[in-house]
Structure 1
Amino acid sequence: MLLTPGADRADGLTDDTAVLSAMLSVESAWAGVLGDLGVLTAQQAQVVADACNPSRYDVSQLAANVESGGNPAIPVVAALRAQVAESDSATAALVHKGLTSQDVIDTAVMLIARDCAAQLQRSLLAAADAVADLAQRERGTVMTARTLGQPAVPTTFGAKAAGWLRGLDDALRAVSALNFPVQCGGAAGTLSLLETLAPGLAATAPGLLADRLGLTEPLGPWHTDRSPVTALGDGLTRASDILGKIAGDIVLAARPEIGELSEPQATGRGGSSTMPQKHNPVLSVLVRSAALQAPHLSASLHTSAALAADERPDGAWHAEWQPVMSLLTLVPTAASQAAEVLSGLEVHREAMQANVDAAMPALVAERRSVRPDESVSAADYLGVVPALIDRTLDAHATLRKELDS
């Protein structure tokens, strides 16, 4: 946590306790499925469900035992069987039957991803709503548009905010479209042991498991077709891209020599360990940090997907765990930070106007190149800015209704 500033905003969604809880949720739901299929009695399924209480387990001890099996499902299942055996040894022998370690871990990751995506969507929506307010409120606030780092033509801060909003809305669509399927294939994707235990019924198990967990049923096992994971990484990275762009704009505009924007102030935030005069745009800096990391984490997921050999991967699957959990921590955290910044962003209109005045008449040189005899102010050379803002705000209102429905 010391080197992951703000990770507490993820609210314990991705730590070891969350992973354990998700894995036990899968095992509890699977016991219910075995009950549905007649492999366990209702009473036996309840014994397993009762044993799937995370508070009964020592997370640090389980973590210490992961290396011997190469994945966390092995010590967790062993500990769960031991818990169940205290009540019913016959039921303990049927715990986890029909599944494989990858089924449990992949499904647990999808449970965590679903919850993280829901938090991310809430933060993106809060950020988008704040930016929509800025676009409306500052639609007439003239400022300098800059291209390749140099003054170009006049624009308004409302138009800049509308550009941010279009990106945030695109990210919202990408995140809301994410799919979270269960993994349910058994040792090599054939559910052969389950078919032995429940003849003629094994094909229904993925749907039953999905229903119990609130996830989706896949067409088949995706042990070595990692598209659910790469799609997750891509959606998270799309969100981090626009968050990083917005944060970068704020960091630049907050430079004293520009002075057009400031982060909302909070006691103790933005200080320096040695320079007492500083007020750093620290949240925007952290959002940029997340945006710089996310594409590389997502790329590693694609690399792992391409190297997922045979019917179960030999290392490529294992290489996913840290990148995907890092993304699920970094991006929702960054979105929460960005929403806070944008909700209280300080707009310094006087500085914007002073920078416009300093850049004149060069800001209207493009116009004068075709009409040299006409005098024009910066406010008179805004092109279709009002229409762009209106179209963007209308599209955001439509998206909001879609997300609420």
Structure 2
Amino acid sequence: MIERLTSLICGTEPMNAVWSPDTTLQRMLDVEAALARACAAHGVIPQSAVAAIIEACAADQLDAPALARDAALGGNLAIPLVKQLTARVKAADPEAAKYVHWGATSQDIIDTATVLQLRDALALIERGMDSLSATLADLVRRHRSTPAVGRTWLQQALPITLGLKFAQWLDAMLRHRERLAVLRERALVLQFGGAAGTLASLRDAAPAVSAALAQELDLTLPALPWHTQRDRIAEAAS
């Protein structure tokens, strides 16, 4: 059964997969697993707790319908997800369960997971743009001398070449590609601030854990936590 009857009107199967419920849950769990590794690497949680946490970070182990119901009660998806994750870890290793989600807040997990999905989405867009640019470049070469009607004031004007029109489209596409490269630098960043944006529970280890978490997820470490500053997400959406 497909998720929505309209899912292919404004999207593609690969792009819909990036933003599917299953992928959303898995990316959130990917952040939780990376957080456990980063905390253990700097002595914040025991190294012995990591394996059980990582083992439980699989979306197919979650009760998705229960998550949906509980998210409506808690106000976000991370709260019930962490609850289910902790229960699964506890079943395997009660001691390790104490260290699930250590130092993080719900929005850290949600925002960073969204950034991971955005990275996958940008890769799809970039591949499509590169393919289109290659096609346009071929059309420019093939039609560099093909006559076409020029237009001015919505009327026929002096002749141009079809290659010129394709070249203009290609020029615009290359600029859009450059814009995406700049967007990557600004948008693909870690969100990690803890409950109040200070990472207080990590104490002196906060900078090292933040850097390690960014490295684990291959994201840029921003100057500051940003979960109340939505300009990066707004820019990506635009």
TM-score, with structure 2 as normaliser: 0.92
**1:310-349 to 2 correspondences below 5 Å:** none
1:62 alignment partner AA: L
1:3 maps onto 2:6 in alignment:
yes
1:219 alignment partner AA: A
Give the root-mean-square deviation of aligned CA atoms.
1.4
**1:213-252 to 2 correspondences below 5 Å:** 213-233=217-237
- Please identify runs of 4+ aligned residues in structure 1 that moved more than 4 A: none
The number of equivalent residue pairs is 230
Whole-angstrom CA distance in 1 between matches of 2:174 and 2:233: 22
Instruction: Tell me which residue corresponds to 1:262.
Output: none
Whole-angstrom CA distance in 1 between matches of 2:118 and 2:153: 38
Whole-angstrom CA distance in 2 between matches of 1:155 and 1:221: 53
What displacement does 1:112 show? 0.4
Contact 2:7–2:16 (Cα < 8 Å) also in 1: no
Q: Which moved more, 1:218-227 or 1:97-106?
A: 218-227
Deviations 1:67-110 (A, max 9, x none): 11111101110110010010122221221121001100110000
Match of residue 166, structure 1, among 159, 171, 190: 171
1:3 alignment partner AA: T
Contact 2:149–2:156 (Cα < 8 Å) also in 1: yes
2:236 alignment partner AA: L
1:137 maps onto 2:145 in alignment:
no
Deviations 1:298-355 (A, max 9, x none): 3xxxxxxxxxxxxxxxxxxxxxxxxxxxxxxxxxxxxxxxxxxxxxxxxxxxxxxxxx
TM-score, with structure 1 as normaliser: 0.55
Whole-angstrom CA distance in 2 between matches of 1:190 and 1:204: 14
Unaligned runs of 5+ in 1: 234-297, 299-405
1:68 maps onto 2:73 in alignment:
yes
Deviations 1:123-174 (A, max 9, x none): 1000000000001100111111223432232111100000110111011111
Unaligned runs of 5+ in 2: none
Match of residue 202, structure 2, among 185, 191, 194: 194
2:92 alignment partner AA: S
Contact 1:20–1:54 (Cα < 8 Å) also in 2: yes
Contact 1:34–1:40 (Cα < 8 Å) also in 2: yes
Say which SS state the counterpart of residue 93 (structure 1) adopts.
Answer: helix
Instruction: Tell me which residue corresponds to 1:147.
Output: 152
2:229 alignment partner AA: D
What displacement does 1:20 show? 0.3
2:155 alignment partner AA: Q
What displacement does 1:11 show? 5.7
1:182 alignment partner AA: L
Contact 1:121–1:176 (Cα < 8 Å) also in 2: no
Instruction: Tell me which residue corresponds to 2:53.
Output: 48
**1:92-107 to 2 correspondences below 5 Å:** 92-107=97-112
Whole-angstrom CA distance in 2 between matches of 1:44 and 1:32: 9
Deviations 1:244-267 (A, max 9, x none): xxxxxxxxxxxxxxxxxxxxxxxx
Whole-angstrom CA distance in 2 between matches of 1:15 and 1:75: 18
**1:288-299 to 2 correspondences below 5 Å:** 298=238
Whole-angstrom CA distance in 1 between matches of 2:156 and 2:23: 49
CA radius of gyration, larger in? 1
Identity %: 36
